[in-house]
């Protein structure tokens, strides 16, 4: 098992070094987290309290982090991926190397986001649980971004797709219309949105009497959704000959 993961570790180290080498790009990626957190603190600081709207914005931001981090990472390396395949590198190892590094980047971003908000506002839920929910949302966003990158033909098209993927997260939510007015279709589609499950973690953990078994269930669904999206990105990249063998 350890040997099977060695190519992924080597590629992850190479990818990590390339990210760290692009100081300007890394600052932009990491810096957006405290900036969004500060903007949230400014807006909700006027009422000195957290609200469901704040939870939703934080969860949406976490999905955004994952999507924008990952959406160009495969399409810009098509030639490199094909060359790696000539040397026997498996698609799963290639994707795993991306996920490891991007998940670590997402973890830094959501900790900065949560910490910046908590600096000004005392959120009602446990910070550790909320950070875990944001991390799950970020990993799900990473899976979504990698899937887009696997399917896109150019970097520009991949980046253009990100807002189109985030908009339904808002439209199919209680931030758009109250849940009691949902049609069956809207209710079903909402459950396919990563933001929904991260938001439910925030909402439930902030209750006066949280149902921790439900919080755990929401987290399991969120991370299962992330794994499914990453799996879909892997399948989208597997050449036919690799599937046969």
Encoding tokens for residue 198?
A: 């991260």
Provide the pLDDT confidence category of residue 242 given band limits of 50, 70 and 90. very low
| Closest to 72 (Cα-Cα) out of 135, 16, 148, 137 | 148
Encoding tokens for residue 43?
A: 């807006």
Encoding tokens for residue 44?
A: 């909700």
Q: Is 4 helix (H, G, I), strand (E, B) or coil?
A: helix
Say how far apart CA 106 and CA 39 lie, in whole Å. Answer: 19
CB atoms near residue 94 (< 10 Å)? 23
Encoding tokens for residue 51?
A: 């609200």
Diameter of the chain by CA atoms?
60
Percent of all residues in the chain with a pLDDT value above 70, rounded to a whole number: 95
Backbone angles phi, psi at 238, to 5 degrees: -70, 120
Name the one residue in this structure whose structure tokens are 């439930």.
Answer: 204
Say how far apart CA 245 and CA 237 lie, in whole Å. Answer: 15
Q: What is the pLDDT of residues 165-217, one digit of tens each?
A: 999 999 999 888 888 888 899 999 999 999 999 999 999 998 889 999 999 99
Encoding tokens for residue 104?
A: 């670590």
Instruction: Report yes or no: 194 and 226 within 8 Å, Cβ to Cβ.
Output: yes
- CA 235 vs. chain centroid, Å, equals 19
Instruction: Report yes or no: 112 and 37 within 8 Å, Cβ to Cβ.
Output: yes
Say how far apart CA 1 and CA 207 lie, in whole Å. Answer: 43
Say how far apart CA 143 and CA 137 lie, in whole Å. Answer: 10
Provide the pLDDT confidence category of residue 50 given band limits of 50, 70 and 90. confident
| Contacts with 182 (C-beta within 8 Å, 6 or more apart), sequence order | 190
Instruction: Report yes or no: 201 and 140 within 8 Å, Cβ to Cβ.
Output: no
- Cα dist. 191→74, 82, 202 in Å? 28, 36, 16
Say how far apart CA 120 and CA 104 lie, in whole Å. Answer: 25
Full-model pTM: 0.90
Provide the pLDDT confidence category of residue 1 given band limits of 50, 70 and 90. very low
Q: What is the pLDDT of residues 12-27, one digit of tens each?
A: 999 999 999 989 999 9
Q: Where are the domains of the chain?
A: 2-244
Q: Is the pLDDT of residue 134 over 80?
A: yes
Percent of all residues in the chain with a pLDDT value above 90, rounded to a whole number: 68
Average pLDDT over every residue of 46-52 = 81
Q: Is the pLDDT of residue 138 over 80?
A: yes
């Amino acid at each position: 098992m350890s040997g099977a993961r060695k190519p992924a570790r080597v590629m992850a180290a190479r990818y990590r070094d390339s990210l760290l080498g692009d100081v300007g790009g890394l600052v932009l990626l990491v810096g957006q987290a405290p900036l969004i957190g500060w903007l949230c603190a400014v807006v909700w600081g006027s009422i000195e309290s957290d609200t469901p709207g704040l939870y939703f914005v934080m969860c949406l931001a976490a999905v955004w982090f994952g999507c924008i981090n990952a959406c160009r990472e495969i399409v810009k390396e098509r030639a490199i991926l094909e060359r790696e395949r000539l040397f026997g590198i498996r698609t799963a190892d290639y994707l795993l190397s991306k996920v490891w590094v991007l998940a670590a980047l997402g973890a830094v971003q959501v900790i900065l986001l949560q910490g910046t908000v908590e600096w000004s506002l005392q959120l009602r839920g446990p910070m550790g649980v909320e950070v875990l929910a944001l991390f799950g949302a970020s990993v799900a966003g990473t899976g979504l971004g990698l899937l887009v990158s696997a399917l896109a033909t150019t970097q520009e098209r991949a980046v253009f797709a990100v807002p189109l993927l985030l908009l339904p997260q808002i439209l199919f939510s209680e931030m758009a219309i109250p849940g009691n007015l949902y049609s069956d279709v809207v209710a079903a589609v909402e459950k396919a949105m990563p933001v929904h499950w991260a938001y439910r973690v925030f909402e439930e953990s902030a209750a006066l009497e949280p149902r921790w078994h439900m919080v755990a269930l929401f987290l399991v669904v969120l991370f299962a959704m992330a794994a499914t999206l990453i799996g879909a990105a892997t399948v989208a990249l597997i050449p036919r000959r690799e599937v046969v063998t």
